[in-house]
Amino acid sequence: MSRVVVVGASIGGLPAAYGLRAALGEAHRVTVVSDAPDFHFVPSNPWVAMGWRTRKAISFPLGPCLGKKGIEFIAEAASGIDPVKGAVITASGAAVAYDYLIIATGAHLAFEEVAGLGPSANTVSVCTAAHAEDAYARYRAFLEEPGPIVVGAAQGASCFGPAYEFVFMLDADLRKKRLRRKVPMTFVTSEPYIGHLGLAGVGDSKGLLEHEFRQRQINWLTNAKIKNIEKDGMLVESGAEGERELPFKYAMIMPAFKGVDAVSGAPGLANPRGFVMVDEFQRSKKYENIYAVGVCIAIPPVEQTPVPVGVPKTGYMIESMVAAAVRNVKDAIDGKPPSARATWNAVCLADMGDTGIAFVALPQIPPRDVTWAKKGRWVHLAKAAFERYFIGKMKKGATEPFYEKMILDYLKIKKLEKE
């Protein structure tokens, strides 16, 4: 019997656990270690921050769902990993032994890298469900006395989609409430241009997003480095424009990510930012029995930019990582060499309140076979449908892929349209 441990139970970790159980059967032990007792559907956090969803609607307890699949659940944070002894150390000091390990911890939110950044300081966040609830409470207070809004992403950030979503959602909501005229809006980003997304653009994402900003009278600053954030304003340095003060009454800034302490503390496992270094099989470059999926892995920037930006890890990309890692763990248990590789393709559905923009990059890292960005109400509807689908799938413990089918169906539709 092999012991396989998954650290993390979000969009990468939970599907990995279900996939392992399906692939390995009852002959092997699967354990999940997570710092949270509940699963939260992270892509819905911006909706929670707008009051369009509740935390309860996008969450469910992990224990019963994992238990039904015969997966052991330890609801404790991992405080360390000992690759030599083959053990995950929990916050209580317990050692959870493993023969194979899949790391799916997500990332540490590096709010501390910018003075005044984060929900415990002067800005709100949509990175966690708790942050989103706090953002909604502050938004309700803001509506009583509206003023300038600043939304964006700090230097080193790699997750730009939620920032774009949130600024468009705020715009749509304020228009519905007949308050938009009272709210100057500015988008501040470390990207070299609007629509870069950490990917050197996807299709005409630059033209499309700049057009939407102009139509909605949203100002923007690119190549921006946020130097300091006070209660009602932030100091921003933006290329040739130099430093300027941006006043706000409500601000949401995505932070840079780092690896969590449990991962970064293991010798030879992570790069200087704490992200796990993996090969083409999602396997650690130093430890052959350790795999990693999702936001916690190291991916070099697509290109050098004046202000540092990271590479996003989208849901479709993570799904392919999970599938590869699960297959390769099974092969290792069966005494076979690894063979499964993640596609690292990118599909992103960005909601805008009543419409949306879809981005597709196949593969995610240029040059690409497919690259496009399209706007339409269908994106808004598709994201809502996917939310229901994925949460239902995770509650049931299903393992069938979704994104691959979605892309194939889209390509079939486009082919039929041409015919």
Q: What percent of the chain has pLDDT over 90?
A: 89
Q: How far apart are CA 178 and CA 168, in angstroms?
A: 15
pLDDT at 410 over 80: no
Ordered domains of the chain (ranges, CATH) = 3-108+258-342 (3.50.50.100), 111-256 (3.50.50.60)
| φ and ψ at residue 122, rounded to 5 degrees | -115, 0
pLDDT at 412 over 70: no
User: Is-contact 185 166, C-beta < 8 A?
Assistant: no
Q: What is the tally of helices (H) and strands (E) in the chain? A: 10, 22
- DSSP string spanning 349-386? EEE-SSSEEEEEEESSSSS-SEEEEEE-HHHHHHHHHH
| φ and ψ at residue 386, rounded to 5 degrees | -65, -40
Rounded-to-10 torsion of CA 401, 406, 409, 415: -130
Give residue 343's pLDDT. 86
For 56-72, the pLDDT digits (tens) are 999 999 999 999 999 99
pLDDT at 401 over 90: no
Report the catalytic residues: 159, 348
CA distances for 214 relative to 168, 209, 210, 236, 322, angstroms: 12, 9, 6, 21, 39
Q: How far apart are CA 189 and CA 116, in angstroms?
A: 17
Residue bearing the bigger pLDDT, 362 or 53: 53
Exposed (0-12), middle (13-18) or buried (19+): which is 415, by Cβ within 10 Å? exposed
For 219-240, the pLDDT digits (tens) are 999 999 999 999 999 999 998 7
Nearest to 342 by CA among 291, 416, 393, 418: 291
Q: What percent of the chain has pLDDT over 70?
A: 95
User: Is-contact 337 175, C-beta < 8 A?
Assistant: no
Mean pLDDT of 311-339: 95
Q: How far apart are CA 321 and CA 12, in angstroms?
A: 8
Nearest to 184 by CA among 217, 211, 152, 155: 217
| φ and ψ at residue 7, rounded to 5 degrees | -100, 115
- DSSP string spanning 25-72? GGGSEEEEE-S-SEEE-GGGHHHHHHTSS-TGGGEEEHHHHHHHTT-E
Q: How far apart are CA 197 and CA 153, in angstroms?
A: 10
